[in-house]
Amino acid sequence: AQKVTQAQTEISVVEKEDVTLDCVYETRDTTYYLFWYKQPPSGELVFLIRRNSFDEQNEISGRYSWNFQKSTSSFNFTITASQVVDSAVYFCALSEEGGFGNEKLTFGTGTRLTIIP
């Protein structure tokens, strides 16, 4: 069975600080996809990134960066120079092998990030 663990339930940092959200996953599949989503108070899930299991390159997009380490089954997310608008619940998710990457996501329980002005 697949599992995603986000051990940090809540994090608060002062604006402009860097913050890292942890994600650890379990799967028996050799091919899988990892995701990060942001859920603001309005409720919709906003897609941030998808990474397949064969691509371990770290990725940077503006103030966001992701560190994928297969050896530790982790896919951590760092926000640099945090802003108040980054306040939200962030979910890490994993999809099963056999699909094309979206069909059945297993989500973690989320990390509520609060940026203090």
Partner 1 sequence: GAGVSQSPRYKVAKRGQDVALRCDPISGHVSLFWYQQALGQGPEFLTYFQNEAQLDKSGLPSDRFFAERPEGSVSTLKIQRTQQEDSAVYLCASSHISNTEAFFGQGTRLTVV
Binding mask 77-106 for partner 1 (x = CB under 8 A): --------------x-x-----xxxxxxxx
Q: Judged by CB under 8 A, does residue 14 bind partner 1?
A: no
- Indicate the burial class of 54 (C-beta count within 10 angstroms; 0-12, 13-18, 19 or more): exposed
* Among 1, 30, 44, 57, contact with partner 1 (rule: CB under 8 A): 44
Instruction: Kindly report the backbone phi and psi dihedral angles of residue 42, in degrees, each rounded to the nearest multiple of 5, phi listed first.
Output: -65, -20
Quote the least distance from Cβ 93 to partner 1, whole Å: 8
Nearest one of 85, 96, 81 to 42, comparing CA atoms: 85
Q: Judged by CB under 8 A, does residue 109 bind partner 1?
A: yes
